[in-house]
Chain A
C-alpha cells in the first residue's frame, strides 16, 4: 500500500469538508473493495476519510411504499432484515449472495454503489428497482446515477447517505457466477411495479450495469418467461475475456432474464 493520511470524521459535514479540502481523498466505508485495490497499488489515495464513526449512516426503514437503506448498512444486515425480506425478498436474497459471510459483515451498500464495479450486484438492484440514491446534496435516480464502468454521477465531496427502493409487486435476481471469483459473470434483476417493468443487467456490459428495453417491452405485454422466449441481446458492448466471450454473455442475459421472471412470478 502507498502511504496515506487517515481521517476519522464524526459527522457527515466534517467528512464532506475533508473531501473538499483534499481533491484526491477517498471515502472508506467497509473497505472490501478499496483496501484490496490499495494493496495491489491500483489505487493510492493520499488521504483516507473513514466513515465508521459517522452516526446515522446505517439502518433500514420502511416508509409507505419504499424501503430506505443507510449507505453504511452491511450486506449481512440487508440480507437478514425482516423488513427487506418481507417487502423486497429479491433484494435480501441479492445481498446474501455477495461475497462470503465475513465479507458481508463488512461490505456496505453505499460502497458498492459508489464504486460501480461492472460485476457488482447492488447496481443491478438499484437500476432494476428504480431506486433513488440519496446524497448529502441531492436525490439521484438510479437511471442517472450509473454512468459507466467504475463511474457514477457523484460529484467531488458528494457522499451517498441512503438508497431508497420503491417496493415492487414482483422482483427477482438471477446470478450466474464466475466459478473462480464467484462474482457475477452475468446477473439479471427484473421487477414489476404497476405498469413499470425493469430488466437490469450486471457483469455483462463493458460499460457496467444497463437496462434492456427490448425485454422490458416484451414483458409489458405479459410478465412471463414466455414473453422472452428466443430473445437475446446483441453481443456488441458486452465484456469478453477468458471467462466468457461477448456472445456467451449476451446469451446468458436472455437465459437469466427468463429464469428471473419465472422466479418473480413464483414458477
Chain B
C-alpha cells in the first residue's frame, strides 16, 4: 500500500475543507468516509447508475469517477447541502416526497441532484420525454421511474422563482 498522501482544498456545501488523503481517494469516498456525508450513495461504482451524483462547480458529476485530488479549489454541493439544515426541503426534494418519487430510496439523492442540474440546463418546463432522456445516467432498480418523472416535472415548476434555484446553480 502506498504511504504517500497528498493534500486537497475544496468547498463542500459552502464550507472550506482541506484533507490529506491517499491519492486514490474518490470524491465519493472523501464525502462519505472522511466527511461523513453519507447521503451520496455508491451504486454501481462504474459511472453508470448515478446514485453518486453531486454538483461540482454547479454541474452534475458522478462522484465515483473523480479523484478528490482533481478538485483543488472546486465547489461541491451534495444532497445534504441542497436545503438549509433547519429550513424547509428544497422544492425538488419536496416534489419527490409529494409525488412519492421513490421506492427504496437508494437512487434518490442522485436522482434529485441530477434533476436540479436538469432544471439548470433545460429550464422549468420539462416534458416527460426530455426528463426520461436526461435521466439516462440515473438508474432506479425498483423501476419507479413513473413517479420520479412526475416528481421532476413538478419540482422543476416549483423551482421557478425559488431562491433555491440560484443556490443550487451556483
A216 to B70, CA, bound (A): 43
Q: Are A101 and B45 in contact (CB under 8 A)?
A: no
Q: Is A3 an interface residue (CB 8 A)?
A: yes
Beyond A39-B45, A100-B136, A102-B60, whether A31 also contacts B4 by CB under 8 A is no
Residues of B within 8 A of A4 (CB): 2, 23-24
Q: Are B118 and A6 in contact (CB under 8 A)?
A: no
Decide if B59 is an interface residue (CB 8 Å cutoff): yes
Cβ-Cβ contact count across A and B, 8 Å cutoff? 83
Min CB–CB distance A30 → chain B (angstroms)? 9
Q: Give chain B nearest CB distance to A32 CB in angstroms.
A: 6
A106 to B67, CA, bound (A): 12
In B62-78, which residues have CB < 8 Å from any A CB? 62, 65-67, 69-72
Interface string of A100-130 (1 = CB under 8 A from B): 1111011000000000000000000000000
Which residue in chain B gives the minimum CB-CB distance to A39? B45
Is B121 an interface residue when CB atoms closer than 8 A count as contact?
yes
A101 touches which of B46, B47, B60 (Cβ 8 Å): B60
Which residues of A have CB within 8 Å of B117? 101-102
Are A36 and B118 CB-contacts (below 8 A) given A99-B137, A182-B136?
no
Q: Does B40 interact with chain A (Cβ within 8 Å)?
A: no
> In the complex, what residues of B have CB within 8 A of residue A36's CB?
46-47, 65
Contact B24 A3 (CB under 8 A): yes
State which residues 6-24 of A face B: CB under 8 Å: 6, 8
- Residue of A28, A50, A105 contacting most chain B CB atoms (<10 Å): A105
A241 to B49, CA, bound (A): 24
* Chain A residues within 8 Å of chain B by Cβ, number: 25
Instruction: State how many angstroms separate the Cβ of B140 from the closest Cβ of chain A.
Output: 14
A99 to B136 CA separation, bound complex (whole angstroms): 8
Give complex CA distance A5, B69 in Å: 11
User: Which residue of A31, A99, A100, A101 is within 8 Å of B66 (Cβ)?
Assistant: A31
- Which B residues between 1 and 38 are near A, CB-CB below 8 angstroms? 1-2, 4, 6, 22-24, 26
Given A6-B67, A39-B45, residue A101 in contact with residue B23 (CB < 8 A): no
Is A101 touching B118 in the complex (CB atoms < 8 A)?
yes
- A93 → chain B closest CB, angstroms: 14
26 residue pairs bridging A and B, Cβ less than 8 Å apart: A1-B24, A3-B22, A5-B23, A6-B6, A8-B69, A8-B72, A35-B66, A36-B65, A39-B45, A48-B23, A48-B67, A50-B67, A52-B70, A76-B59, A100-B50, A101-B60, A101-B121, A101-B137, A102-B47, A102-B50, A102-B53, A102-B60, A103-B65, A105-B59, A106-B61, A182-B136
